[in-house]
Structure 1
Amino acid sequence: MAYLRSFAIILVCLFAGKAIQHLTHLAIPGSIIGMLILFFILSTGIIPSHWAKESCHLMIRHMALLFVPVAVGLVNYLDLIAENTLPILLSTLGSSLIVFLILGIAVDKKEKQ
């Protein structure tokens, strides 16, 4: 029963995010909006986090399998990826560098406290 409840919570958030994206025509994918809704609901305590725990653990345990369809889907866009290799590489390296710098600054400030 715990799996059904936790999957239902995740699916409701996903469908709500997709509906919001469809109705507002935002450039943000509906799945991301759904994750933000789920984060908000769990972090504010509207729904206890242990209600979503079972499905989350199941999906994390099988996360490698969940990436297979995405990787196969990328094969359809190999020509587009090849044309934009440099911008993709630069944006990946640049964003990683920014994350590392911010994380380093945050950890440094936290350790000084």
Structure 2
Amino acid sequence: MKAGFVIEEHVVVYCDGCGDHYSEKDNESICFHSIAQAIAYFSAHSATVGWVYDGDRILCDGCIATLHCLQYGHTYPDTWQTTVWPLGKLTRSRSCAECGIPEIEAQS
């Protein structure tokens, strides 16, 4: 039986692109017992968690979206959202459906 303060080793996964840690809830890192267990988890669940392990690198959903946009360009919707700022200035904006990067234009 373990009791008190016990030092244990575990594996935490960080994105090879941006360094963000993998978490599922409350932004707390998920701890795996071994690298093999982490690889098996991402190999089986990558479609549902958004992170992808390609046998060499592991990338988060944000880095995957950014790489997609670098390769294929941004995917903006046809519709814009108009914002009225104090003093009557207008802007219109829309965000890329892949990576979320906004496109903002001033209106005259």
TM range (shorter): under 0.3
TM norm structure 1? 0.24
Higher relative helix content: 1
* Greater RCO (CA < 8 Å, at least 6 residues apart): 1
